Every structure is written in structure tokens, then in C-alpha cells.
Amino acid sequence: MSALRETSVGVVGTEAVRVTARALAHRYGPQRGLEPLSFEVVAPAVVAVTGPNGVGKSTLLKIVAGLLEPSRGEATLAVGGRSVLAAERRRCVGYAGPELSFYPELGVTENLTFAAMTRGLPAPAVRVRESLDRVGLSRHGTERVAALSSGMMQRLRIAFALLHRPPLLLLDEPGNHLDDEGRVALRAIVAEEGRAGLVLLATNDEREWRLAERRIELSGRGLGHSA
Amino acid sequence: MPNAGSSFLAAVWAILRKECRSEWRTRYGLNAAVLFAVTSLTGVSFAVGRLTDRSDVLAALLWVVLLFAALASLSHAFVREVEGRTLTLLRLVASPTEIALGKLLFNLVFLTVLEAVTVPLFLILMGAPGPRWGAFLALLASGSFALATSATLVGALISQTRGRGALFAGVSLPLLLPVLAAAVAGTRNQWAGGSAAVEVRMLMAYAAATLGASLLLYDHLWED
């Protein structure tokens, strides 16, 4: 059994949002997964999660988002001092990851409007416009998702994550496929969201992890391996 | 802030609207279902002619056509989300119960549209005697409700499994046979001048039980 490896990141600030992982681990197979990990991050902050491919960066973000049940340990989220159950996390978490896909037969605005209405957001049209403006996609609102380029799709993922103004933003490889203009918009979004809330970035791109003031470096070689 | 109840209904309504819009744009299921219904009814009508005095055969044929026309689409309500990789999006905006109820309502709308096309065609082509409309419509409604709840539940259960096709057939068979048997018996009875009240009650009870079990299950369906 691999030893518990502790990585601790403490960020002093308001306690609006707090993410705590205790001996958190996930196993996909005998040699793949997230090694036991403990940390605590508190808003306001931008925290980068870095490490080699397959070490569990995306897995960590999915667990925090409530999309994946960890094999061991726990990841808790508290907003305003109150613990948020995994099943309710979608209300507090904005998630943008590579596997997030949209309905190709619907337009950009239609996809986001669907998400806003399903979330029960007030004034969905305003929220959608606001999100598209922030990622620079306003001019492409009527286009079908099937017609979007990879970079535009990435912007749409970020717009989706911002739609409900979540206190916790989880961005998995957010700079993928973005052009220079897109990266400028991403920097602005991360800085702005990190001032008020908590942003977790999973990335290996130095341009992205330099946006963060703290790093959680995952260096495990996979579950089942001795250190 | 919207309260929990209105938020739940808003989510279900939004999912239903999205399903209708996607189906309208892609015609993923409706075209195939209507094509199956029309071609099979036309084929049977050419082969055996009008079956005016065979209420037993008419009842069975009606429900077999409806079942097979609808099944491919009903079972794919969740599979489409998995294969299109949109399930993550759905899970991020709605609870499993909201998603499943939205899909169930869409399946009911789908069946209603399918029946609106198929049933008049069936009555004309097969030379079916004029039904007792109250009982006949009650059977169609309760049979569709039972069919939709069963198919939605099975579709949700198998959506993330390997070998979905084979699994769907295996799991559906025991769930759909009672629906088919009750619906055929009730339809035959109403054409024979008898009562279909027992079958309507049976179908409604079956649908309610399936829906109840589904509501207990849905929240645990996509826990990885």
C-alpha cells in the first residue's frame, strides 16, 4: 500500500469558499489513478494543479466538481461556512474540461440558454450574453456548435463554466486550442474570478500555471507503484 | 432565488424543451418510427387485407406496431447523451431525477405524436371497427405511460454499459411483456364490446410502480 503523501496549500483569505481534500485517492485500474492527496485551499485564490500526464489532475477536478466519486478519502466543499454535498455541487461549481461537449444540433446561445434555464437562473438571456462577452464569443452566438473551431469550442466551455457566476471555478487545461486573444481573455477571467472566489486550474502549460499564486504538484507514478 | 420546487420544475421543463428541439432538428427517432409504422401497416394491409372481424389480431397488431416503432427511439434517450458525450453537461446543470423526468416527458410527447400518425392510419388501412373512443383513448394513454416509464428506466440503466443493445433487449423483455399483454387485452375487449377498465387500471398501476422505482434509482444511476 502506498504511503499517504501530503501536499498542503493554505491560502489566507475570506472563508467564502473552501476546498479540502483528505487522503483523497481514485483508482481507475491497477496502475492508474490519483494517489492519496490532502490539501486545503481557501478563497480568494488561484491555485494550479500540475504534474505529468496520467497523474490525476483531471480526476481531482472531477471529484471536486462532484462528477466522480473518489475510491478513497474525501473532497469537501464549503461555501459561506456551510458544507455543500456532492450532489448539490453543480450549483456552486463552474467546470470546464476537455470532455465537456455540447449539443451539435443547437446553436451556441441555445446551448447556454438551455444550461441557464435548467439551472433555474434568473434572466437567462442576460447571463448568456454576459458569459459570451467575457470569452469573446458574442459574434458567434447564432452559430451551430457543430460548426465551431476547437478554439471557439474551448471558449464556449469557459463561458458555460461562468454562466451561473460560481464561487468555485474548475478549469481543466483551459488554454487548449486558444489563440492569443483567447489567452488574454482567459487571463482576465482567471484574475477576476480569483479575486472574489476560488479558481483551480489543472494544467501543464507554464503560461497557465503562472496565473496562479499557488501550485499543487502531483508527482505520483500511479497507484500500485511503490514510491 | 427560485425555490427548490420551481427550480426542479424549471429544470425538467428545460430538458423537455431541449429534447423536443433536438428531435425536431435531427429527426433522429421520429422519421424512423413513422417510417416503420407506415411501411409495416401498409405491408400487412397488402398481404392480408382488411381485418374488420378479427379484433384479437387487430389489437395485437396495433400494439406490436406501436411498440417496435417507438422502442428504438425511447431506448436511445440516454444513450445519445453518452455517445454524444453530453452527459457531463447534463450532470453539471441538473440532478439525475430532473434529467430522467425530462426524458420521460419527452418520450411521452414522442409516443403521442407517433400515435397521432399511426392510429388513424391503422384504423383506415386495417378496416378496424370504430373504437369506443373513451376506452380506446384511455388504453392508448395508459399504455403509452407504462411503455414510456419502462423504456426510460431501462434506457437510463443501460446507457453507460457495454453491449447496450443486447442488454436493452434482455432487460426490457420482462418489463414490457406485462404492458403489451394488458394493452392488447384491453384493446381487444373494447372492440368486442366489453370493458377495458381493469386493463387501464393495471397499466396505470404498473406505470406508477415503475415511475416510483425509477425515482428511487435515478439519483444513484451515474455515480462513478
List residues of chain A with CB under 8 Å from any CB of chain B.
Answer: 65, 67-69, 87, 90, 93, 95, 97, 99-106, 110, 114-115, 117-120, 122, 160
Q: Is B223 within the bounds of a domain?
A: no
Residue B18: is its pLDDT beyond 60? Answer: yes
- Pairing between β-strand A72-79 and β-strand A82-84 as defined by DSSP bridges: antiparallel
pLDDT of B21 reads: 95
Distance CA A78, CA A82 (A): 5
Percent of chain A residues topping a pLDDT of 90: 78
Residue B135: is its pLDDT beyond 90? Answer: yes
Q: Answer whether A39's CB lies under 8 Å from A25's CB.
A: no
In a 13 Å sphere around the CA of B2, the CA atoms on its Cβ side amount to 17
Residue B5: is its pLDDT beyond 70? Answer: no
Q: Is B224 within the bounds of a domain?
A: no
Q: Is B71 within the bounds of a domain?
A: yes
What average pLDDT does the segment A68-81 reach? 93
Q: Is B177 within the bounds of a domain?
A: yes
Percent of chain A residues topping a pLDDT of 70: 89
Could you give the angle at the alpha carbon of A113 between the alpha carbons of A111 and A115, nearest 5°?
70
Identify the residue with better confidence: A190 or B161: A190
Question: What's the gap between Cα A165 and its chain centre?
Answer: 13
Cβ neighbours of A99 in B, within 8 Å: 85, 88
The model's pLDDT over B83-114, given as tens digits with 9 standing for 90+, comes to 889 999 999 999 999 999 999 999 999 999 99
B15/A90 Cβ within 8 A = no
Cβ neighbours of B27 in A, within 8 Å: none
Q: Is B33 within the bounds of a domain?
A: yes
pTM comes to 0.89
Residue B219: is its pLDDT beyond 90? Answer: no
Q: Is B194 within the bounds of a domain?
A: yes
The per-residue DSSP string of A176-204 comes to TT--HHHHHHHHHHHHHHHHHSEEEEE--
In a 13 Å sphere around the CA of A9, the CA atoms on its Cβ side amount to 23
CA nearest to A110 within chain B: B18
The model's pLDDT over B157-214, given as tens digits with 9 standing for 90+, comes to 888 787 777 788 888 889 999 999 999 999 999 999 889 999 999 999 999 999 999 9
Number of domains in chain B: 1
Domains and CATH numbers, chain A: 1-92+167-176+199-227 (3.40.50.300)
Question: How far from each other are the two terminal CA atoms of chain B, in whole angstroms?
Answer: 31
What average pLDDT does the segment A88-115 reach? 95
Residue A103: is its pLDDT beyond 70? Answer: yes
In a 13 Å sphere around the CA of B133, the CA atoms on its Cβ side amount to 1
B88/A99 Cβ within 8 A = yes
Q: Is B174 within the bounds of a domain?
A: yes
A90/B84 Cβ within 8 A = no
Determine whether A102 is exposed, middle or buried from the number of CB atoms within 10 Å of its CB (0-12, 13-18, 19+): buried
Residue B224: is its pLDDT beyond 70? Answer: no
Distance CA A90, CA B5 (A): 17
Residue A189: is its pLDDT beyond 60? Answer: yes
Distance CA A164, CA B92 (A): 11
Q: Given pLDDT bands bounded at 50, 70 and 90, which one contains residue A1?
A: very low
pLDDT of A222 reads: 43
Identify the residue with better confidence: B169 or A41: A41
pLDDT of A226 reads: 33
Cβ neighbours of B20 in A, within 8 Å: none
Domain holding B110, by residue range, is 4-218
Q: What is the CA radius of gyration of chain A?
A: 17
Q: Is B142 within the bounds of a domain?
A: yes
Q: Given pLDDT bands bounded at 50, 70 and 90, which one contains residue B3?
A: low
The model's pLDDT over B65-77, given as tens digits with 9 standing for 90+, comes to 999 999 878 877 8
Cβ partners under 8 Å of residue A163, min gap 6: A94, A112, A115, A116, A119, A121, A127, A128, A131
Q: Given pLDDT bands bounded at 50, 70 and 90, which one contains residue A194?
A: very high
Residue with the three cell numbers 480569483:
A194
Residue A188: is its pLDDT beyond 90? Answer: yes
Residue A137: is its pLDDT beyond 80? Answer: yes
pLDDT of A143 reads: 96
